[in-house]
Amino acid sequence: MTKVKLKMLQRKVSPVYGLSVIYMISIIGPASGSEIYGDCIKYTVGEIKPVLTDGDRFCLQEQGYVYCKEFKCPPTVCGSPLVPENLKCQYCEGSDKYGDCIRYAEGENKPDLPNGDRFCNARVGWDYEYCIEFKCAPTACAHPLVAPYKKCPYCKGTCSYGGIVYQVGASFRCLDRYNRCHCRDGNSTPHTKVGVPADWMC
């Protein structure tokens, strides 16, 4: 199995549902006939995998083998936990911490931010949105404005973006941590359009 695909598997699993600790193979134990491969369990294609009564696994298949990361589900602290489609672990709405982001399931209601806003990215092929949430920057004018489709107020000649005030004409890194944004009149922030994975900003 290539190092690139192993890293992809680790990247997909390590932050699942805000796990502070992932309970790996040493707790769940490999299946009969399987073997430990780094941080994964390696199964042959078609091999019966054991039922994980309080856990789940993420797997990749390559060259006749299936490589799986197995973990226990973290406890939930809400009264009505949800279960994403095709997954086993429950989670609390809006509480799925993913690095510096909050990860929301497709169609999940996002809580209102009374003095803030969020920047969200969807990942193609996944049922999640990744959002950076921030407080609005304070304004220094008597009559701040609010641009359409944005929540944070701004003063004429400036832009309010990601909790920071920029002067018109300024160029800065966008919240996706890759593209460049530019401050224009009316709190407009046009940007370059290089496609990057949604969770890079997290």
pLDDT tens-digit series, residues 54-78: 788 878 888 888 888 888 876 665 5
Range of the domain at 119: 97-134
- Comparing CA positions, the residue from 76, 85, 67, 73 lying closest to residue 10 is 67
Q: Are residues 9 and 68 in the same domain?
A: yes
Would you say residue 161 lies in a domain?
no
Distance, in Å, from the CA atom of 119 to the CA atom of 96, rounded to the nearest integer, reads: 16
Range of lowest pLDDT (48-52, 175-179, 184-188):
48-52
Name the band, by pLDDT with cuts 50, 70 and 90, for residue 110: confident
Q: Average of pLDDT values for 186-192?
A: 94
Task: Determine the pLDDT at residue 164.
Answer: 95
Q: Are residues 18 and 62 in the same domain?
A: yes
**What are the pLDDT digits (tens) for 10-43?**
444 433 333 333 333 333 344 444 677 777 888 8
Q: Average of pLDDT values for 91-101?
A: 70
Q: Describe the chain by its helix, strand, coil percentages, rounded to 5.
A: 10, 35, 55
Query: Token pair of 168, please?
Result: 């018109």
Q: Are 151 and 136 in contact (CB under 8 A)?
A: yes
Task: Determine the pLDDT at residue 94.
Answer: 55
Work out the end-to-end distance of the chain between its first and last CA atoms, rounded to an integer number of angstroms.
26
Q: Single out the residue in 106, 134, 162 at which a domain terminates.
A: 134
Q: How many domains does the chain have?
A: 2
Please, is 16 exposed, middle or buried when counting C-beta atoms within 10 Å of its C-beta (0-12, 13-18, 19+)? buried
